[in-house]
Amino acid sequence: MMIGIWLMQACKVNEDNLQVKTQQLPENYPVADTDSTGQPSQWKEYFKDPALLALIDTALINNYDRLQMLQRIEMSHTDLIAAKGNLAPTVDAVVNGSAQHMAEYSADWAGNEGAVYADGSPMRRTIPDYFLGFEAAWEADIRGKLRNEKKAAFSRYLSSVEGAHFVTTNLVAEVAYEYYQLLALDQELEFVEKMLANQEEALEVIQYNMEAGKANQLAVQQFEAQVISSKAQSRRTAQRILETENRLNYLLGRFPQEISRSSNYVMMVDSLAVGSPNDLLKNRPDIREAELMLEASKFDTKAAKAAFYPSLSIGAGVGFQAFNPEFLFRSPTSIAYGLVGQMAAPLINRNAIKAQFEFAKANQVDAIYNYQETVLKGYMEVYNQLTNLQNLQEVVVLKNVQSATLEASIETSKELYRTGKATYLEVLVAQENTLSTQMELIDVQLQEMLTKVNLYRALGGGW
């Protein structure tokens, strides 16, 4: 009868099969060829610069974020071991000693006064008791509560592994990101110093012409101001180089020191196999991490639902027991054993269990939304980087042509100025336009490189 009441109440529990509206991933990216499988390249295959590869190796060993993530994996693994252990019986070695003093007029002493033990010694009001043996306990997982808890722990463990992969992918991308910025700054400093040399040469010509009466003081001052501006820009660039080196050293888990790097800023990555949007589901570690957390939340909900049903626990003990230590090991008369089984289920005031179940369901819905958001974010990141890369590649071509044209205009303006066919202002404008355009070219080339790094990360990276 009681079991029937339990089952009737359990049937009133809300279902754990939650339905949430989902969105279908697009079949492809509008700006990419999806014929390839989209298998992400390993970073050692994708980045070709030996200096960059050495920096990434160091970061993977010393970076503190990654080291902390590896410890979180260990913590998840211990949770899994604990969940597995809950399925097995527990056996404890027990040594127990106690004494009970019975009151003169108590029910315990009534009828015992004048009694004797088996050895003929009189029973006293203070009764010692000694036990040496083993006690075991086991909960029969009749509703799968413990099994679902183990499955949830296993999913969280796998999720932590994917989290580590995500941290690794981001770390590799961040090191490459800072490295290419450092190469761009090196190129910027080199070009500024080159322009500074041209400007100083032009200043000498203007000063000579002023002495010869062919130029005035205003022209000299304009060229001097341009030289001073380039010197200041050189110092600012040098400071940015130092700060970028320190950001790299931070990622590498070490104190400031010079960063070894290539002398030339060149394209050092191959093209990526983009694949289809569905490839993101298996390639991006953050999406797999969210999926595994969703699985864990489902098992948590099933385990919480099982708390409404009866539970069966079994306990047993065996050992030696006596009122006097000298009789403790007199087998078989001192052997004691016991066995107890208990079935219990919540009947009244189940609000705490209901609250836990509702919390588990809400957590599951939250995990569903988090998974969907992560998938949407992954698609958007790839889409944005593909379109950005396409446009930047076109801009780089145009900026290269513009830069080459303006560099040629510097020599043209100098020659025209010497022959009196151009003013000093035209020489100044030619130099300023060339410097500005070259800085823009360096920046666009850098943005192209950083977009390739971001695309590598958005597609899941290689870890």
Q: Is residue 118 part of a domain?
A: no
Decide if 435 is inside a domain: yes
Cβ atoms 34, 279 nearer than 8 A: no
What is the model's pLDDT at position 359? 93
| 261 found inside a domain | yes
> Does any domain span residue 425?
yes
| pLDDT digits 0-9 by tens, 70-86 | 999 999 999 999 998 98
- Residue 232 has a pLDDT of 96
Coil, strand or helix: which one is 253?
coil
Q: Within 13 Å and on the Cβ side, how many CA atoms surround 90?
A: 10
In this predicted model, which residue has the larger pLDDT, 401 or 23? 401
In a domain? residue 302: yes
State how many domains the chain has.
1
> Does 122 map to a domain?
no
Is 3 domain-assigned? Answer: no
Q: How far apart are CA 210 and CA 216, in angstroms?
A: 5
Per-residue confidence (pLDDT) for residue 267, from 0 to 100 = 52
Q: What is the mean pLDDT of residues 376-388?
A: 94
pLDDT of residue 11: 46
Asked if residue 10 is part of any domain, the answer here is no
First to last CA, the chain: 59
Give 309-376 as a DSSP string: S-EEEEEEEEEEEESSGGGTT-TTTTEEEEEEEEEE---S--HHHHHHHHHHHHHHHHHHHHHHHHHH
| Mean pLDDT for all residues in the chain | 86
Domain that holds residue 299: 24-102+127-458
pLDDT digits (tens, 9 = 90+) for 258-296: 999 987 755 556 667 788 888 888 899 999 999 999 999
Encode pLDDT of 409-459 as tens digits. 888 888 887 888 888 888 888 888 888 899 999 999 999 999 999 999 999
In this prediction the pTM is: 0.83
Q: Which two structure tokens, joined as six digits, stand for 148? A: 């679902």
Instruction: With CA atoms as reference, report the closest residue to 131 among 338, 401, 414.
Output: 338
CATH number at residue 147: 1.20.1600.10
Backbone torsions φ then ψ of 340, nearest 5 degrees? -140, 140
Instruction: Kindly tell me if the per-residue pLDDT of 2 is higher than 50.
Output: no
Residue 164 structure tokens: 């580590």
**pLDDT single digits (tens) 97-128:** 898 888 877 877 777 777 777 667 777 888 88
